[in-house]
Each structure stands twice: as C-alpha cells, then as structure tokens.
Chains A and B, each alone.
Chain A
Amino acid sequence: QKEVEQNSGPLSVPEGAIASLNCTYSDRGSQSFFWYRQYSGKSPELIMSIYSNGDKEDGRFTAQLNKASQYVSLLIRDSQPSDSATYLCAVNKSGGSYIPTFGRGTSLIVHP
C-alpha cells in the first residue's frame, strides 16, 4: 500500500463548478497535511495546510481532514481555467523527522 495515494486523473470540471480532490494516507499517526499546486513546468506551490479534523477555508479553497478515515481532501469552489494544474497531497509522518511524503498528484482541468 502506497503511503499517500491520489487519483492521477485527469479530473475535468466546467468553469464555475466545484472541484473535489482526494487523498488517502496509511500512517495513522500523521499529524500535518498539505496541498500543493504545481503548474506544468513549474515547482510546487503551497496552497493549504491542515492539522485538525474538520474543514479549513481559505478563499475559494477548503481543505477537509478526517483522521479516523485517513483521508484529506481539497475543494475548489468556482473553479477557473487558471486552476488547471496538478495538485499534490503531502503528509508529515509521525515521530522522528518531519519530512513529508508526497502523493503523485491529481491533474485538474477546468474547461471554459
């Protein structure tokens, strides 16, 4: 079982819709969770972090964490073509070093 799993996609949504990106992880003791956005040919950019169960909102982005079910999701409201990118989920391991484990990313395409 991979430590951090994401559907590779592509996930295609129309402009203005809600895009829902999901991530599951295997280390039950994980404490920190991150979403990065990576445009084609560019480096990953941090867009959200979440540490507690529940929802965290930042503008059009909402991160959702459910530690009991070991999943974290990212919702993008009012999706725009500029949101088209690959979204990477990262999870910090429990104990020892806090180097995150990254999923392979989900490709999102927002079409006009």
Chain B
Amino acid sequence: SQTIHQWPATLVQPVGSPLSLECTVEGTSNPNLYWYRQAAGRGLQLLFYSVGIGQISSEVPQNLSASRPQDRQFILSSKKLLLSDSGFYLCAWSVLGSSRETQYFGPGTRLLVL
C-alpha cells in the first residue's frame, strides 16, 4: 500500500531563516506530488505541483520554492522565512492522470515563524 511521509512534524523558525521540508511517497511510481499550505482558519492553498522529476509548477508567487530531485521525493524550501509563511504545510500525492484523479495527504508539517 502507498504511504506518504513528511518531516519534520513541527518546526519553529525565526524570521529570515531558511526552510526545508521534505515529503516522500512509498508504494507507488511516478506520482503527481503537491504542496499545500493551510493557514489558521483558512482553506487549502495549492503552492506547487509536480508531474515528474524536475517538473515543478507554481500556483502563486511567494517566498517559497519546490524541487523534485527523485521520483518520490518533493522538497519545499525558502531562503528567508517571513512571518506570513506560518501555517500547516501538507504534501499530497495522486496517480491516474484522469478526471478521477484522487489526492491523498501526508501528515503535514506545522510551521511557526517568529
């Protein structure tokens, strides 16, 4: 069965510090991968998605970047964190590439920027 991992689970970082969040998927090949952010009391905001190694699409301009160095690895980064980067970061995967494509979420990373 498929499993998705995210780490760390929680993170407290000072403003201006760098960020690296990692997501890995097991049990599937060639997944589509996604990064979402959920601010407190807000909906899910799609940040990046990737349909293959090295292929990254950005949904909104921001202080963040993403990379996919391996088929089942997706990394979210920032060179300098802002207060507004605080939130719950969720990685998701999907397969199938059709209208029935279904997303499954990882456990998430809660980031607090102080």
Chain A residues near B (Cβ < 8 Å): 31-32, 34, 36, 41-46, 49, 51, 88, 90, 92, 94, 97-100, 102-105
Contact = CB atoms under 8 A, between A and B. Distances in A.
Interface of B: 34, 42-44, 46, 49, 90, 94, 97-108, 110
Nearest to A41: B110
Given A92-B99, A98-B98, A99-B34, A44 B49 contact: no
A43 B103 contact: no
Contacts of A102: 43-44
B108 A88 contact: no
* Main SS class of interface, A: loop
Contact of A32 (B42, B44, B101, B108): B101
A32 B43 contact: no
